[in-house]
Structure 1
């Protein structure tokens, strides 16, 4: 890899893991791009952003950060790292500095996801108080999260969710990296997980280059070519 070639870091969202990029990664590798798809802890916005930032700092060259869903909030913070050259949001949350997920989401009508959330306690090391994990009702997950994904795969995803700690919804972003980094956004216009207007508002506020796909929330699995094209555009701007 030359020093000018960007590394694409793919940041998954809540209720999913890095395998949600399984159809996009081969497209990017075929282009000769370096790609990393780390596992996000999904414990807190600030902690998750610090973890992704630590990975970014170890990369010897420019980085394109790609965030899906909650991963958009993560890259909004982690994208402040010096070697991040571009941000790509996929059906994601583009937070303003000082804004939380709950505040941004609360300004718009709820999606179907709100009525399908499941809250479960989990032990917190060193604390007598449990944390709260958030997942999606298994039987409703395919329709809400993955309506245009192969039904068998959608059922598998439903029973292999990576929970998000509820605390992440209330933490405010200390920085908004899109203010200083070129940014691209993809709206999933048939999204039943994040209201598409939440996506549009965040992208427009940030002045992003924006495209739309008639897609469920898991746009990377249902429209991998369009997602890869958007990432390629960002990578070209970052020196590819």
Structure 2
């Protein structure tokens, strides 16, 4: 069965929340889902937001990172990474996920979010109530005030696709 090209529900996790509205500005999207994600603020970079909205992050994650010779953030304390990204994952899943972590370039986070407005697309924000990376209170407030989005709450931490994939799949299917 061929689906219409605008029958897309796009999910952005964590920093992916800055990408999904850019996609929706360029092609038809039915619905955006912000999953434990940073929601862009028009005219600001992620770094600007972090400075202006200090309650956005749980800043404890910074102690687990260092900057490499290519100006990329690299996890050096894997226990900090686990605590902030994978807190409710079992050991096997967390170990596998940590093994896949890659450096994150600083440059994109310093770039101003380019559109003059967020796209006029329906959206939902999924908050994980024990998220140790993105502050759940910040997420609820920004979902309401910046996005006008419905909020769905799931128990757990920052990576529900790893810790409770069935529950996340059910929420996503309900949105579809």
Alignment partner of 2:69: what SS?
strand
Residue 221 of structure 1: aligned partner: 162
1:177, distance to aligned residue in structure 2 (A): 7.0
Residue 93 of structure 1: aligned partner: 38
Q: Aligned pair in 2 of structure 1 residues 166, 176: CA closer, same or farther (>3 Å)?
A: same
Distance in 1, Cα, partners of 2:119 & 2:143: 11
1:186, distance to aligned residue in structure 2 (A): 0.6
Distance in 2, Cα, partners of 1:178 & 1:233: 24
Alignment partner of 2:10: what SS?
strand
What stretches of structure 2 of length at least 5 have no aligned partner? none
Note if 1:114 corresponds to 2:53: no
Residue 84 of structure 1: aligned partner: 29
Q: Deviations over 1:59-115 (max 9, x none)?
A: x44321111001111112222123211100110111122122122233124412122
Moved over 6 A (4+): none
Q: Aligned pair in 2 of structure 1 residues 158, 120: CA closer, same or farther (>3 Å)?
A: same
What stretches of structure 1 of length at least 5 have no aligned partner? 5-59, 123-131, 236-240
Residue 134 of structure 1: aligned partner: 73
Q: Please show how residues 61-72 of structure 1 align to structure 2 within 5 Å.
A: 61-72=6-17
1:176, distance to aligned residue in structure 2 (A): 7.2
Distance in 1, Cα, partners of 2:47 & 2:161: 24
Q: How many matched pairs?
A: 171
1:184 maps to which of 120, 124, 131: 124
Q: What value does the CA root-mean-square deviation take over the aligned residues?
A: 2.0
